[in-house]
Structures are given as C-alpha cells and as structure tokens.
Structure 1
Amino acid sequence: MFRIGKILTALSLSLFLLVTACAAPSTAPPPSTEAPQTSTQAPTGEPLAGGQFNQFFPNASGDYQRVFAQEKTGFAEAKLKQDGKDVAVLSINDLANNPSAAKKFQDSSKTIAGYPAVERGKTQTAILVRDRFQVKVQSRDDSFTPSDREAWLAKFDLQGLSQLK
C-alpha cells in the first residue's frame, strides 16, 4: 500500500511539472515598433533550450487544438489537430548549430509578416526570424493548404521570438 502511494505521488508530480512547463505565459510582451530584420547572415552563439520557444507558438483557435510534441536543445514542435486528426506540425528551430540552413532564405522574394519565407515541396512553408530562428509549418493533411500554413506562421509571436538572445 505504501509503494502505491509513492508511485501515485511521483506520477502526480511528473504530471504537474509537465503541465506547468508547457503553460503559456499569462501576459504577452508589449508590441515593438521595430521593423523585422530581413537579412540572412549566419546565426551565431549556442542554441537555446527548446522550452524557451513554447511561449511563441500560436494558441489553439477555432476547432484547432495545439499539442506540444517535442522539445530538445534548439528545437520545439507542436502538432495542430482538427477533429482529433493531425493536420499540421508547427516548429521553431534555432539555427545556431546549423548556419547553412539559413542560406535557403537568402534568395527569397517572398515574405510573411515581414520575414523572408520559403516553400519546400508541397507541404512545408518556413520563415527566418532574426537570421537565426526558422519557424516552420508542415501540412500533414491535404485539407491544410499553403494559405493555411502562411496564416498559422503569422500567428506565431514573431516579434517576441525576435527578441530572444
């Protein structure tokens, strides 16, 4: 009986830590009047912890649910679900360890929310924030169109992300 209590306590504590670690901040930073940076220079520095990116993901809206799926150094990912089905994957990737990944944005003539944008294949759209953070939306269902991907990219807190050091 005592062992079951220990197990339940450990599980409860783990669940509490998971829920609080993934929670969004209660207040958003004030909007900046600064224009977004659109040059594409190689990122520098050490990659940030993936958990630092969660606050910049868009909240669930309408009949969409956002479910955080993965966090590791320099990367965070969330699934976008509609009616219980994965329709897209949202991600932020710190390119500090992979500066060559920023090169694909150099010749981009397209922008989304003022940031250089690229499309890869028929399912991926990405933007580069502050020459360092790649924000990407990948369709997982045919119903999630390129215009849906662009709309969800614009829902990220890109201004807040651009302030990360």
Structure 2
Amino acid sequence: MTLTRGRRILAALLISVLLLTSACSAKTPGRFDQAQQESSRQRSGQAVAKNATQGSKLNKFFPSGGDGYQRVYTQEKKGFSEANLKKGGKVVAQLAISDTTSTPTAAAKFSNSSKKVAGYPAVTLGNTQTSILVGKYQVKAISKDPTFTASDREAWLEKFDLNGLARLK
C-alpha cells in the first residue's frame, strides 16, 4: 500500500517538475513571429496625424445619390471617410476622401500628373480607380462593377463639393 502511495507522489512530483521546466523555457520563435514584428513596426510609423481632419467633417462634401444611385456611408474615422455607391441594390462604386497629412506619399503621386479632373490633378490607378488631389485631400472613385467606367468615375468625382473641400483646413 505504501509502495503505490509512493509511486503516486513520485509521479505527481515528476509531472510538476516537467510542467515547471517546460513553462519556464525560452520559446522558440514561430514562423509568423518575424512577419508580426515587421508588420507592427510598419504600422507604428503610419499613425494618423494629430491634425488630420475628422472623418465626420468630410461627409458633407460627398455627392448625394440620384438618377437611380444611392450613397451609403460605410466607414468614417480620423482622416478618412468612405461611401458605397449603389444602383439597383448592387454596389457599383466606392467613393472616398482621405486627408493626406498622415500619408504624404499619397499626395506626392500627383506632382507629375498631367491629367486634370474638375481642374484638379488626377491619377488613374489600373482600370478601376481614379483619384484627384484637392488641397491636402485625396478624393477617390473606385469601380466595383465593370459597368461603372472611367468616365463614370470622373463624373462622380466632379459631383463632390470640391470647392468646399478645398477651403477646408
């Protein structure tokens, strides 16, 4: 009887020592640890500038719906506001305004632009995105449906209250 009791105590002691040593050992880095560190380091340099415009202040410059289109706000945060443009219940485009104070490279891409939309420098990215720079604000129209063409994007960019946005500080 005392032999089995001794074995139980010894087994419990060995398990405790095993758990203690494995819990205190240094953890070997996993395959995703380096990627996580790089991602965190990149994000820390991309914080939103303190003087970036609040997203709620940008909403009033968006065009309203009409002609079968409906504007639905989807995101609003400091320095950014976004809305979907729907037609027949389907998202055909995404409209956005972003404050380039936090991302100066976004504004820099307009410096070599020879194209203009509504008198503002414009850039086309691929076949789906057209952007203009209005003061410190980038205004984008992104096609989400093939029926929403580059000329549609430009027409909707012109519907924004661009003069009001240009006066916003």
> In structure 1, what is the equivalent of residue 133 of structure 2?
128
5+ residue gaps, structure 2? 1-48
Structure 2 CA distance for aligned equivalents of residues 45 and 154 of structure 1:
29
> In structure 2, what is the equivalent of residue 155 of structure 1?
159
> In structure 2, what is the equivalent of residue 142 of structure 1?
146
Structure 1 CA distance for aligned equivalents of residues 105 and 128 of structure 2:
21
- The amino acid of 1:49's aligned partner reads Q
Deviations along 1:33-83, one digit per CA (max 9) or x if unpaired, are xxxxxxxxxxx9711100000000001011000000000000000000000
Conservation of the 8 A alpha-carbon contact between 1:45 and 1:96: no
Conservation of the 8 A alpha-carbon contact between 1:70 and 1:77: yes
> In structure 2, what is the equivalent of residue 119 of structure 1?
124
Q: TM-score, normalised by structure 1?
A: 0.72
Structure 2 CA distance for aligned equivalents of residues 128 and 45 of structure 1:
21
Structure 1 CA distance for aligned equivalents of residues 76 and 124 of structure 2:
24
Post-superposition, which runs of at least 4 consecutive aligned residues in structure 1 deviate over 2 A? none
Structure 2 CA distance for aligned equivalents of residues 45 and 67 of structure 1:
27
Conservation of the 8 A alpha-carbon contact between 1:125 and 1:149: yes
- The amino acid of 1:146's aligned partner reads A
Structure 2 CA distance for aligned equivalents of residues 76 and 51 of structure 1:
7
> In structure 2, what is the equivalent of residue 92 of structure 1?
97
- The amino acid of 2:115's aligned partner reads K
> In structure 2, what is the equivalent of residue 164 of structure 1?
168
The offset of 1:101, in angstroms, is 1.1
Conservation of the 8 A alpha-carbon contact between 1:128 and 1:135: yes
Higher relative contact order structure (alpha carbons within 8 Å, sequence separation ≥ 6):
1
Q: TM-score, normalised by structure 2?
A: 0.70
Matched, 1:48 2:53: yes
5+ residue gaps, structure 1? 1-43
Number of residue pairs aligned between Structure 1 and Structure 2: 121
Q: Choose between structure 1 and 2: higher helix proportion.
A: 2
Compared CA separation, residues 107 and 45, structure 1 to 2 (3 A): farther
State the SS of the aligned residue for 1:96.
coil
Instruction: Report the aligned-residue RMSD.
Output: 1.1
Structure 1 CA distance for aligned equivalents of residues 98 and 145 of structure 2:
22
